[in-house]
């Protein structure tokens, strides 16, 4: 691939994903000529109280389904099972659903089968496509700040849902001096991969104002992994230029490249 074939050549792209999850996005951006700038806005921690998750894991055999809505859900459930002294075979009996391909890959890497993967990687599609869940007991191990759409939709369809906190999502420490330096050096794109990556930036009035000014001057593109993340940005009073049709890291980079190419036509 020659430099002229790189649609993101020379663009400085802010990556707000947690540090342990930023590599895949950074590599895809670099492959298209961009310079990724890592600024994790969130981090993850164990729940304040393990007992609700432990209670569910002790009784996994009563569940028809376990629905995983993030890679972190897989990670924390697997680690907690092992801490409790259980073999991962304990997760083989209930069927397992994954919200998207990254979560499915995380399960398969643990030797666990994925029984259901929706065609659209949002909670609503899981419920629409899973089929009849009337009377079935379903475990949802999730983040403490996860959207309530999925359990509410499952309850509406007659499922018996146990939603438990498997991990907490926390704002990462952000150095104001580094943020100011990034604005001075110039950014061309800011990427958001979840609503939680948005808030630590937009809830700081001076950062929100700097973002708004850069966007107004056509100096900054805002790219979101999906519509739910985009709505969070818009609620903060900022426009969104790119929303990935496929709600994955690959889909985000593809949509950004298409937008940049179209802008230069």
Where do the domains of the chain lie?
A: 3-41+172-263, 45-170
pLDDT band at 224 (very low <50, low <70, confident <90, very high): very high
Please name the residues in contact with 203: beta carbons below 8 A apart, sequence gap of 6 or more.
236
- Residue 165: pLDDT over 70: yes
**pLDDT beyond 70 at 164:** yes
Q: Are 154 and 127 in contact (CB under 8 A)?
A: yes
The closest of 146, 178, 149 to 165, measured between CA atoms, is 146
Read off the pLDDT of each residue in 27-48 and give the average, rounded to a whole number.
Answer: 97
Number of neighbours of residue 191 by Cβ within 10 angstroms: 26
- Mean pLDDT confidence for 181-205: 95
pLDDT in tens, 71-120: 999 999 999 999 999 999 999 999 999 999 999 999 999 999 999 999 98
Equal CATH topology for 3-41+172-263 and 45-170? yes
pLDDT for 2 beyond 60? no
Closest CA to 122 of 191, 166, 70: 70
pLDDT for 68 beyond 90: yes
CATH class of 45-170: alpha beta
User: Six-digit token pair at 235?
Assistant: 């609620």
Report the pLDDT value the prediction gives residue 80, as an integer from 0 to 100.
98
- What class does CATH assign to 3-41+172-263? alpha beta
Within 10 A of 148 (CB to CB), how many other CB atoms are there? 10
pLDDT attached to residue 265: 53
Structure-block tokens of residue 7 = 């649609």
Instruction: Report d(CA 251, CA 2) in Å as an integer.
Output: 22
Contact 245, 218 (CB under 8 A): no
């Amino acid at each position: 691939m020659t430099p002229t074939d790189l649609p993101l050549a020379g663009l400085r792209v802010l990556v707000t994903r947690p540090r342990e999850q930023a590599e895949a996005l950074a590599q895809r951006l670099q492959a298209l000529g961009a310079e990724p700038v890592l600024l994790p806005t969130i981090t993850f921690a164990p729940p304040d109280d393990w007992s609700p998750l432990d209670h569910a894991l002790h009784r996994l055999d009563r569940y028809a389904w376990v629905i995983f809505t993030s890679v972190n859900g897989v990670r924390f459930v697997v680690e907690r099972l092992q801490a409790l002294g259980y073999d991962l075979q304990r997760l083989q009996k209930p069927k397992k659903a994954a919200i998207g391909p990254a979560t499915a890959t995380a399960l398969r890497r643990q030797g666990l089968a994925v029984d259901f993967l929706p065609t659209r990687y949002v909670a609503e599609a899981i419920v629409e496509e899973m089929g009849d869940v009337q009377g079935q007991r379903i475990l949802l191990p999730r983040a403490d700040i996860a959207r309530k759409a999925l359990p509410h939709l499952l309850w509406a369809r007659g499922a018996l849902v146990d939603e438990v906190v498997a991990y907490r999502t926390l704002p990462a420490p952000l150095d104001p001096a580094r943020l100011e330096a990034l604005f001075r050096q110039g950014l061309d794109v800011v990427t958001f991969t979840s609503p939680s990556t948005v808030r630590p930036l937009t809830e700081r009035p001076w950062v929100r104002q700097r973002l708004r000014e850069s966007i107004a001057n056509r100096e900054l593109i805002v790219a979101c992994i999906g519509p739910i993340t985009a709505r969070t940005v818009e609620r903060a009073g900022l426009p969104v230029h790119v929303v990935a049709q496929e709600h994955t890291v690959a889909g985000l980079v593809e949509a950004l490249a298409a937008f940049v190419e179209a802008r230069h036509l």
